[in-house]
Chain A
C-alpha cells in the first residue's frame, strides 16, 4: 500500500523547500516531488527597463552564497548583447573571483553534509559544532578555506558577498601589486588546505558509501548502493568558467533549452497519509496535511532537449574529466574533488594577472536590442543569463539557474531510496532555492 509522506521544510541547504514522497510498504520512495517554496521575487521582471549597469548588481542579490556567478553571468550577458569584449586582465580578475568563490562554496557544502556522515569505522555521526578535537580539525579547516576564498573574492572583486568590482565592460579597478602578492599567499595556503580537506572528505564519503545502514530518528535505515541514481543526463558548459554567445562556438545551445511550468513535472493536489513524529527536527508533516506541488512550486522548470537534466560538479567532471560515479555519492565526491582545480585555476590566474593592465573596455556600445547570453559554471552548475540591451537599458532579462535545472531531476532521483534518506539525496545537489526561485 502506498503511503504519502511530506518533509517540509527541508534543512541544511539554502532557501526553503519541501518533499512529497510516495512510499511503498518497505519505506522505499516510488515517486518523489521536490518542491521549491522560496517565494518568487520577480527579479527578471523588475529588471526589465533598468540600466544595464544596474541589473547584474540586482541579480547578484538573488543569492548570497553564489553572488559571484550571478554578477558574472549578468555582466557577461550584457556584454554579449551589446557586443563588447573585456580586456584580458579584467577577465583574469573575474576568473580569480569565480574560482575563489567556487572553492569557498564547495567547502561550505561540506559543512552542510558533515552531520550526515560518520567518523570512518565507527557508528558516530560528525557534529561539526562539537568542541571535540576530531570535529574541530575538520570544521576549522573548512572555515579557513572559506575565509581564504572570501578574502580572495573581496580583494579582486571588491566584496566577498555581492562583489562590486565587476562592471559591464570589465572591472572598475585592477588590484595593486601588494594585493596580488596577498592573493598569491592566500591561494598557496588554500591549495595545501584544499588537498587536506579533499583527503578528509573523500575518506568520510567513502566510508559512508560502504555503510549498510545509517541511523535516522532512532531507526536503522538501509543505504541502497544506487542512492540518488537517475537517467536524466547531464549538462555543463565548461570545467571552470563558462561560455557566452560572444564566442564563435559557444558550448551551450539556447535552442535546445525550454522552460515549462511545474505542472509538466510535478504531481497535483493530495494529502499526507502518513506522518512520522520521530523524524529528526520535529517529525514529518502530520497526516491529513494538504499539498499541491504543481501549484506550490515557485521556480519554473527548465528543460534541455525536452527533459530535466542534472547540472553541477558531477556533471562538469562527467563531461570534461571522464568521471563516471553516479548518484548522491558521485555528487559529493565530485564536488569536493573540484576544490583542487578551483584553487589551481586561482593560482594560475593570479600568476598571469598584470596589475598595471587596463581592466575596462574603451567605449561601451549602447546596444541595439540584440539578444545575448552568458553561461557561468556556478558552484552548483550551469547558470545562464539572457538579455536584450537597447540604449543601455535592459529590455528583456531571463535567468536559468542551476538549482532550477536540478529540482525536477532530483525529484526523479528520489525513487528507489528509503524515504528517510530523501533529504540526503537532495542535499547531494547542494540546492539553492533562492537561486531557483529568483
Chain B
C-alpha cells in the first residue's frame, strides 16, 4: 500500500523527561507532557481529554454534564473533560479501552469553557471528526478556528463499556475497581491489578466484543492528527511519534528544544516502523474487506458506505 502511515514530516521514538508524568502515563507520557507544555507556553488554553470517575468527583464542572450520563459514571468509563492545569492532566492520564466521546465537548469548549485555543486528543476517527468539523462546520460555528493542537493516538479497535466490563470481570476475573492499568500489546489484552495481579487474555477472546463500527475504519496511526502517538514500534515506556502538520512540527520542535522529551531515531529502536507498517496494513486490509462486503450485504441491496 504505502500510504498506511499517512503523511508525516518526521517520525521518532520518544518519552517524557518528566518523572512524575511517566508515573501516571500509559506509555511515554507524550500526550500529558505535550499538553502540559502547550498549556504552559500558551499554545493552547485548555485541552479536551478522556478523564474518569475520580476526576469527575474532583472537578465536576470540567466534565460533560447533562442528566443523561450522570448514572454512567463507573470505574474505567472515560468521561470527556476539559483540563487547564498539569494536575488536571495527570488526573486524566492513562488509556481507557472504551468509547470516550471527546468530540461532544468540542463545541462546548468554545462556549461555556471560553477556550480560544483548544488542544484535543483522540483516536484516528476522532481526528477525522475534528478535521471534518473544520472543513464542513455543520452546527460547529467558530469551532474550527479554535482548534490549536490535535493529537491523535494509534488505534486498532475500541470497545463499548459493557465489553470491557465483561472482559475484565468475567474473562480476567478481576473487579473493575481493582484494575490499575489495561493494555493491548504483544498480541494480548493485559489487565494489571492494584494488588499486583497480572492477567493476559489472548486477543482472539476480545474480538467479538469490539465495537462493530471499528470494522470499517481505515486509519491506524491517526493520519489526520497534527501529531500522532502510540506505543507500537517503540520499546516499553516509550512512544512512537509522527509529526505531521506545520502546527505539529512547530510545537514539537519547541518542546524538544525546551527539553520536554527525550528522543531516539525510530530507525534505531526495535521493533520500529516495520511493525507499525505491518499492523497498519493488517487493519486497513481487513477493514477494507468488511467495507467491500457491505456492498453485497443484502440480496440486491447494499449497506451504506460512508467513504463514497
Q: How far is the CB of A89 from chain B (nearest CB, A)?
A: 12
Q: Report if B66 contacts A (CB, 8 A).
A: yes
Q: How far is the CB of B41 from chain A (nearest CB, A)?
A: 17
Q: Report if B305 contacts A (CB, 8 A).
A: no
Q: Report if B32 contacts A (CB, 8 A).
A: no
Residues of B within 8 A of A154 (CB): 110-111, 141-142
- Bound Cα distance from A179 to B61, whole angstroms: 13
Residues of A within 8 A of B114 (CB): 155, 175-176, 178-183
Chain B contacts to A: CB under 8 angstroms: 45-46, 61-62, 65-66, 82, 84, 108, 110-116, 141-142
Interface hub of B45, B82, B142 (most chain A Cβ within 10 A):
B142
Q: How far is the CB of B138 from chain A (nearest CB, A)?
A: 13
Check B141–A165 contact: CB distance below 8 A. Answer: no
A-B CB contact pairs (8 Å), 24 listed: A154-B111, A155-B111, A158-B108, A158-B111, A158-B112, A159-B111, A159-B141, A161-B141, A165-B112, A173-B65, A173-B108, A173-B112, A175-B114, A176-B112, A176-B113, A176-B114, A178-B46, A178-B84, A178-B113, A178-B114, A179-B111, A179-B112, A179-B113, A356-B61
Where chain A touches its partner, the secondary structure class is: loop
- For A186, give the chain B residue with the smallest CB separation: B114
A:149-202 near B, CB below 8 Å: 154-156, 158-161, 165, 172-176, 178-183
- Bound Cα distance from A179 to B112, whole angstroms: 6
Check B61–A178 contact: CB distance below 8 A. Answer: no
Where chain B touches its partner, the secondary structure class is: loop
- Bound Cα distance from A174 to B111, whole angstroms: 10
Q: How far is the CB of A249 from chain B (nearest CB, A)?
A: 34
Chain A contacts to B: CB under 8 angstroms: 154-156, 158-161, 165, 172-176, 178-183, 356
Check A176–B141 contact: CB distance below 8 A. Answer: no
Assuming A158-B111, A173-B112, is B45 touching A178 (CB within 8 A)?
Answer: yes
Tell which of A161, A175, A182 touches B116, judged by Cβ atoms closer than 8 Å: A182
- Bound Cα distance from A158 to B141, whole angstroms: 11
- Bound Cα distance from A175 to B111, whole angstroms: 8
Q: How far is the CB of A360 from chain B (nearest CB, A)?
A: 9
Q: How far is the CB of B137 from chain A (nearest CB, A)?
A: 13
Q: How far is the CB of A181 from chain B (nearest CB, A)?
A: 7
Residues of A within 8 A of B111 (CB): 154-155, 158-159, 165, 179
- For A181, give the chain B residue with the smallest CB separation: B114
Residues of A within 8 A of B84 (CB): 178
Q: How far is the CB of A281 from chain B (nearest CB, A)?
A: 32
Residues of B within 8 A of A176 (CB): 61-62, 82, 112-114
Check A155–B116 contact: CB distance below 8 A. Answer: no
Tell which of A155, A174, A182, A183 touches B61, judged by Cβ atoms closer than 8 Å: A174
- Bound Cα distance from A161 to B84, whole angstroms: 28
7 more A-B residue pairs beyond the given contacts A159-B111, A182-B116, A183-B114, with a C-beta to C-beta distance below 8 A:
A155-B112, A155-B114, A175-B112, A176-B62, A178-B84, A178-B114, A182-B114
Residues of B within 8 A of A156 (CB): 112
Residues of B within 8 A of A159 (CB): 111, 141
Q: How far is the CB of B287 from chain A (nearest CB, A)?
A: 35
Closest 9 pairs (CB-CB, A-B):
A179-B114, A182-B114, A175-B112, A178-B114, A176-B113, A173-B112, A158-B111, A155-B114, A176-B114
- Bound Cα distance from A365 to B174, whole angstroms: 44
Residues of A within 8 A of B46 (CB): 178
- Bound Cα distance from A179 to B116, whole angstroms: 10
Q: How far is the CB of B119 from chain A (nearest CB, A)?
A: 14
Interface hub of B61, B112, B114 (most chain A Cβ within 10 A):
B112
